[in-house]
Amino acid sequence: MANILVTGGAGYIGSHTCLELLNAGHEVIVFDNLSNGSGESLRRVEKLANNSLDFVQGDIRCQDELDRVFQNYQIDAVIHFAGLKAVGESQQIPLTYFDHNIAGSIQLFKSMQKAGVFSLVFSSSATVYGELNPSPYQEDMPLSLPNNNYGYTKLVIEQMLEKMALADARWSIALLRYFNPVGAHKSGQIGEDPRGIPNNLMPYVTQVAIGRREKLSIFGHDYPTKDGTCERDFIHVVDLAKAHVLALSNRLNNQGCRAWNIGTGAPISVLQIKETFEKVNGVQIPTEFAERRSGDLPAFYADASRAKNELGWQPQYTLEDMLADSWNWQKHNPNGFS
Ligand code: NAD
Ligand code: UDP
């Protein structure tokens, strides 16, 4: 069992991963500035795990704060979630995104190196495949420039990590390329709690269902897909969290930098999400068709065979589980953690 530093652990994917880490017997130290995360989510994680974790409030852009954590704890490995993630916002304020995501990551890697900690799991994204690759995406496809600044930061960090691992064989790095994380822990105690108007489909759907938003706008219905709406590869957040625990054990026993897709491999359309949500949960989602959203690709989904073969990871949850669990979380927490 190991001592794991989890940056961004108070956020959506981070909190679910902390729970899985505790359940697997690891010690967890969360480092988060709470800009988009919540202390309450960590309290609930502790209750669910019946175990405690340590929380340090701090910003990954601050070298001193990071160095202090590595001095105060004997860290074995890092899972790095912290960063900003809103695609639209990244187009408005690129420098802020470069600062949090790229500069913040560099500070973290420097502190790790100084402390002699070289095992890392990094939250990457399918966005690094860019617009030129056909689905299903495979890890060894040449990456291409994403069409937004958020995606660009993920590509830059991946490339830095590859170069660091080439230059110094002590590094052992997992690049987990997430597809579309949705769902929540079965208990309904932790889940996604976006601030302001949600950018992503799933929290928008659940907020319409609970009456916080009037209706769902489906962006585009003339795409070359089975029903004209975009297709994505939705993955249950608990399956995603479990992939981190497996990637971590893999990295604690290997060297180099390796990428894994974390998706189900099944393309699901936006319309299918709305219709299945209504059927599974017995709730209507008032909907309109709207213009295409700039930058959206018609369809993307994973070839997830590498994660299965090398990490022994396979998704356990169905689409129905994802939609039932998203609703269960929203229903029990109409205003999120607040
Ligand atoms: P989230 O916003 O819920 O979690 C991110 C956490 O990082 C938050 O708790 C926030 O307070 C913290 N944070 C942000 N900037 C920080 C900083 N400078 N210093 C310290 N803490 C900081 O997001 P999430 O959905 O849980 O995503 C986690 C990671 O996964 C992110 O890196 C994101 O880019 C990546 N990712 C997310 C998705 C998705 O659809 N949710 C898809 C692909 C990749
Ligand atoms: N989408 C939508 N209405 C919304 C939010 C999203 O139709 O209010 C669509 C979006 O156009 C995309 C899909 O849902 O085709 C998934 O979008 P999301 O932002 O959740 O994730 P992305 O795939 O862009 O990372």
CATH code of the domain in which 77 resides: 3.40.50.720
pTM for this entry = 0.98
The residue segments making up the domain with residue 16 are 3-182+234-263+304-315
Which structure tokens are listed for 55? 């929380």
* Phi, psi torsion values for 162, nearest 5 degrees: -60, -45
- Measure Cα distances from 321 to 94, 234, 238, 250, 265 in Å: 36, 11, 11, 28, 16
209 lines ligand 2 (CB under 6 A): no
C-alpha dihedral sign at 81, 85, 91, 94:
negative
One digit per residue, pLDDT tens: the chain, 338 residues? 899 999 999 999 999 999 999 999 999 999 999 999 999 999 999 999 999 999 999 999 999 999 999 999 999 999 999 999 999 999 999 999 999 999 999 999 999 999 999 999 999 999 999 988 999 999 999 999 999 999 999 999 999 999 999 999 999 999 999 999 999 999 999 999 999 999 999 999 999 999 999 999 999 999 999 999 999 999 999 999 999 999 999 999 899 999 999 999 999 999 999 999 999 999 999 999 999 998 899 999 999 999 999 999 999 999 999 999 999 999 999 999 98
In the reported structure, the alpha carbon of residue 8 is separated from the centroid of ligand 1 by a whole-number distance in angstroms of 6
Candidate of 6, 18, 35 to mutate for ligand 1, largest count of ligand atoms within 8 Å of Cβ: 35
| Whole-number Å distance between alpha carbons of 11 and 17 | 10
Residues known to be catalytic: 150
Q: Is residue 158 part of a domain?
A: yes
Q: Which of 98, 79, 65, 85 is nearest to 29 (CA)?
A: 79
Other beta carbons within 10 angstroms of residue 312's beta carbon come to 10
Query: Does residue 286 have a cis peptide bond before it, meaning omega lies within 30 degrees of 0?
Result: no
Q: Which of 98, 140, 90, 100 is nearest to 8 (CA)?
A: 100
Res 102: pLDDT:
98
Q: Is residue 222 part of a domain?
A: no
Of the listed ligands, the closest to the CA of 201 is: 2
Please give the tally of structural domains in the chain: 1
Candidate of 13, 122, 161, 190 to mutate for ligand 1, largest count of ligand atoms within 8 Å of Cβ: 13
217 lines ligand 2 (CB under 6 A): yes
Of the listed ligands, the closest to the CA of 181 is: 1
| Whole-number Å distance between alpha carbons of 297 and 301 | 11
Candidate of 6, 12, 158 to mutate for ligand 1, largest count of ligand atoms within 8 Å of Cβ: 12
274 lines ligand 2 (CB under 6 A): no
Q: Is residue 251 part of a domain?
A: yes
Q: Is residue 53 part of a domain?
A: yes
Q: Which of 203, 223, 222 is nearest to 213 (CA)?
A: 203
Res 162: pLDDT:
98
Q: Is residue 96 part of a domain?
A: yes
Res 84: pLDDT:
97
Q: Which of 256, 238, 267, 259 is nearest to 311 (CA)?
A: 259
Q: Is residue 30 part of a domain?
A: yes
Q: Is residue 42 part of a domain?
A: yes
| Whole-number Å distance between alpha carbons of 268 and 234 | 7
Which structure tokens are listed for 93? 């304020």
The packing angle between helices 12-23 and 237-252, to 10°, is: 60
Q: Is residue 295 part of a domain?
A: no
In the reported structure, the alpha carbon of residue 101 is separated from the centroid of ligand 1 by a whole-number distance in angstroms of 9
Res 295: pLDDT:
87
Res 175: pLDDT:
98
In the reported structure, the alpha carbon of residue 231 is separated from the centroid of ligand 2 by a whole-number distance in angstroms of 9
293 lines ligand 2 (CB under 6 A): yes
